[in-house]
């Protein structure tokens, strides 16, 4: 069962009385834990739950077992500094629970922690692929080198440059060998568990992405004609949720949109499967076979994520190292309907 969903209060005043309070300037993003919130509001009556009001991490909904408790909390805390919550001035109003069908479509999608739980052929996730010390060294190495700024994030390219205008690489323009600071990663990839063919990966292209808090990645399949079968992505500095979509009618979706609740969704008369996984820091994700060629993957543009009813705040930055092999011949995969000849996505 998914979490309750609440509408944001509208109009002036405290709103229509209810057992639920919408509380702004309060939440993980401003350094206040849900346990602290529950403790303070619990002084006015039994608290049934504390939930994220939206994706900001700075607004919550506190649910009491009755309107009397909610009214007492609103009158005592609204617009006044709360010493038990760091002296923050809370903005409190009533909130009304919405029917599930009105909730955001991606809010109740189960988020898994292991790739095997998604049952997507060719998808692997290895936790703790590197150590804390190795993570620190990798971040230091890229921060000592120049970044290229895109609209919402910064990137570095090694081996070959990925061209965002063509969604491809120029195989005739070699930037040089991959940097020495990733040599140990390439050696470790050669013995990637459960994938014997990784020993012959011969990866020659690396893209380093830096995502500020709240910035994600639009749905895409890495261009078939640009890269070979195996795509490895190492997550550093912060966690995130990655969602996968398989469009049942083949082909591509040409704009960034979200699906609906459930395992099989329908959007603009196009049906697709949706699954999600949590990528913790220092984990290595591998896309191969069907996962690489037929499933769109993307990172929702959130500041917080909910994993197994637990709110996880995204860090100030997340850095990914994506390793690929530039393709020198035609793609002969088993999923031609998802080939880039039918789309401009990458």
**Rounded distance between C-alpha atoms, residue 70 and residue 61, angstroms:** 11
* pLDDT confidence bin for 76, thresholds 50/70/90: very high
The CATH code of domain 6-106 reads 3.30.70.330
Q: Which tens digits make up the pLDDT trace of 265-307?
A: 544 445 788 999 999 999 999 999 999 999 999 998 888 788 8
The pTM for the full model equals 0.65
Residues in the chain: 346
- CATH 2.60.120.590 in the chain is located at 111-338
Residue 161 vs residues 75, 189, 320: alpha-carbon distances, Å:
59, 22, 16
Q: Are strands 296-299 and 217-220 parallel, antiparallel or unpaired?
A: antiparallel
Contact between 99 and 2 under an 8 Å Cβ cutoff? The reply is no
> CATH: 2.60.120.590, 3.30.470.30, 2.60.40.10, 3.50.40.10. Which one for 111-338?
2.60.120.590
- What are the tokens at 204? 């020659």
How big, in percent rounded to 5, are the helix, strand and coil portions of the chain?
Answer: 20, 35, 45
- CATH 3.30.70.330 in the chain is located at 6-106
Q: Which tens digits make up the pLDDT trace of 134-192?
A: 999 999 999 999 999 987 889 999 999 988 777 788 888 899 999 999 999 999 998 77
Give the mean model confidence (pLDDT) for residues 76-85: 91
Determine the angle formed by the axes of helices 34-41 and 67-77, rounding to 10 degrees. Answer: 100
């Amino acid at each position: 069962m998914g979490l309750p969903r609440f509408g944001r209060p509208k109009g002036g005043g405290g709103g229509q009385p209810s057992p639920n309070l919408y509380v702004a300037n309060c939440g993980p993003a401003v350094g206040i834990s849900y346990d602290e919130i529950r403790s303070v509001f619990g002084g006015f009556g039994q608290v049934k739950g504390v939930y994220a009001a939206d994706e900001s991490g700075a607004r919550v909904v506190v649910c009491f077992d009755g309107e009397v408790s909610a009214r007492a909390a609103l009158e005592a805390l609204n617009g006044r500094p709360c010493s038990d919550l760091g002296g923050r001035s809370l903005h409190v109003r009533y909130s009304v629970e919405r029917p599930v069908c009105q909730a955001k479509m991606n809010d109740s999608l189960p988020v898994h922690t292991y790739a095997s739980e998604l049952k997507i052929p060719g998808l692997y996730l290895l936790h703790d692929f590197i150590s804390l010390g190795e993570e620190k060294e990798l971040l230091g190495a890229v921060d000592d080198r120049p970044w290229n700024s895109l609209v919402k994030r910064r990137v570095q390219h090694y081996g070959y440059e990925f061209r965002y205008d063509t969604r491809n690489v120029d195989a005739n323009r070699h930037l040089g060998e991959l940097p020495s600071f990733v040599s140990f990663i390439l050696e470790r990839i050669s013995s990637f568990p459960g994938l014997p063919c990784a020993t012959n990966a011969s990866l020659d292209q690396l893209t380093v992405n830096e995502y500020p808090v709240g910035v994600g990645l639009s749905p895409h399949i890495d261009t078939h004609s640009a890269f070979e079968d195996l795509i490895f992505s190492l997550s550093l500095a912060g966690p995130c949720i990655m969602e996968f979509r398989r469009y049942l009618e083949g082909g591509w979706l040409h704009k960034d949109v979200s699906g609906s609740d459930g395992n099989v969704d329908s959007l603009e008369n196009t049906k697709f499967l949706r699954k999600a996984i949590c990528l913790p820091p220092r984990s290595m994700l591998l896309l191969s076979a069907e996962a690489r060629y037929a499933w769109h993957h993307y990172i929702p543009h959130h500041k917080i994520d909910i994993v197994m009813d637990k709110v996880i705040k995204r860090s100030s930055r997340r850095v990914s190292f994506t390793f690929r092999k530039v393709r020198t011949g035609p793609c002969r995969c088993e999923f031609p309907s998802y080939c880039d000849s039918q789309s401009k996505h990458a």
